[in-house]
Amino acid sequence: MNLLDVVRRSPVPEPWAEGEKIPWHDPGFSQRMLKEHLSQQHDAASRRSHIVERQVRWIDDHVLGGRASRVLDLGCGPGLYTSRLAQLGHECVGIDFAPASIAYARKLAERDGLRCRYIEADLRDAEYGSGYDLVMFLYGELNVFRPAEAKVILRKAHDALGDGGQLLLEPHTYQAVRGLGQAPVFWYSAEEGLFSERPHVCLEESFWDAEQAVATVRYYVVDAGTGAVTRHASSTQAYSEEDYRALLAGTGFVVVEILPSLTGQLEEEQRDFLALVAHKGTVAERGPR
């Protein structure tokens, strides 16, 4: 693309039509994103360590009851939750399609002798295994998938659980996704950054599709040396609490709790998320699929 393509762009993009998400699976992008995951200056990619540690303690105590368990983390990133859960005596599997994050998580597990196994794969296609006590799907990852894809992932998560297994889902609130789609146009310049290791300008614009309840963000990255333009786009589906209950019921789960955060308490810095604890329903509870 070039700047003329930006000028002549479609005024309003269709959700997911211009790209499913920013390129987490690209090796170079993945390596740059890993730095953001591990940063202790912000919570934009992953949460800072003191927050993760507090949330892991709550998961261990409130969700797992302190019992040694088998845990599957969907969209595990660099293993920030799984590594800490393993240190508490749990056996963990993580799945993510960002190569640098998976490589980091594997090295960490090997270095510390943790009972963690990591799989580099797309959640839509990956084999999850079976017999888990808990499946985690955190930090709003559910919302970046189309509703039909989200249902596939949740059904696979349901089938991966053993009898009495639980799902811990941390999705975005409806208000957070709507706010993302209604954000003003924004731009910045950088010598290097997430989208490029070269000097560049990044132009961002957001759109809110009220009918479909989807936020779409476009990113136009302009190389400062050549003027070449690369476009990325990411769409995020909004759900109400009632929508989440219906989505989980339709994929075999029974919602036990809806909480304001992964500590069970209302926390200002986590206000864009909810925590849902659900269990694998019996045939009578979940009805026909």
| Best CA proximity match to 51, nearest among 265, 288, 282, 283 | 265
Angle 276-237-28 from CA coordinates, rounded to 5°: 100
In a shared domain, residues 243 and 197:
no
Q: Name the residue range of residue 13's domain.
A: 3-22+176-237
pLDDT at 24: 87
Q: Which helix (H) or strand (E) holds 169?
A: strand 161-169
Concatenated DSSP letters of 31-95:
HHHHHHHH-SS-SSSS--HHHHHHHHHHIIIIISTT---EEEEET-TTTHHHHHHHHTT-EEEEE
pLDDT at 282: 65
Establish if 212 belongs to a structural domain.
yes
In a shared domain, residues 47 and 145:
yes
In a shared domain, residues 133 and 269:
yes
Which residue, chain included where needed, has tokens 């963000």?
217
In a shared domain, residues 262 and 125:
yes
Residue-wise pLDDT tens digits, 2-56: 999 999 999 999 999 998 889 989 999 999 999 999 999 999 999 999 999 999 9
What beta strand segments (E) does 175-286 contain?
Answer: 186-190, 200-209, 214-223, 229-237, 253-259, 275-280
In a shared domain, residues 11 and 136:
no
- Of the pLDDT bands very low, low, confident and very high (cuts 50, 70, 90), residue 285 is low
Distance between CA atoms of residues 279 and 282, nearest Å = 9
Residue-wise pLDDT tens digits, 202-248: 999 999 999 999 999 999 999 999 999 999 999 999 999 999 999 99
Q: Is residue 73 pLDDT above 50, yes or no? A: yes
Establish if 243 belongs to a structural domain.
yes
Q: Is residue 284 pLDDT above 90, yes or no? A: no
- Cβ atoms of 279 and 165 within 8 Å: the answer is yes
C-alpha distances in Å from residue 239, one per residue of 149, 203, 217, 234, 255 = 14, 27, 18, 17, 15
Residue-wise pLDDT tens digits, 80-127: 999 999 999 999 999 999 999 999 999 999 999 999 999 999 999 999
Establish if 251 belongs to a structural domain.
yes
Q: In Å, how far from its chain's centre is CA 37?
A: 12
- Cβ atoms of 149 and 137 within 8 Å: the answer is no
In a shared domain, residues 58 and 140:
yes
C-alpha distances in Å from residue 106, one per residue of 24, 78, 92, 116, 136 = 18, 8, 12, 8, 19
How many domains is the chain partitioned into structurally? 2
Query: What's the mean pLDDT in 138-142?
Result: 98
Q: Which tokens sit at 27? A: 């090796």
Establish if 33 belongs to a structural domain.
no
Distance between CA atoms of residues 266 and 272, nearest Å = 11
Distance between CA atoms of residues 204 and 180, nearest Å = 11
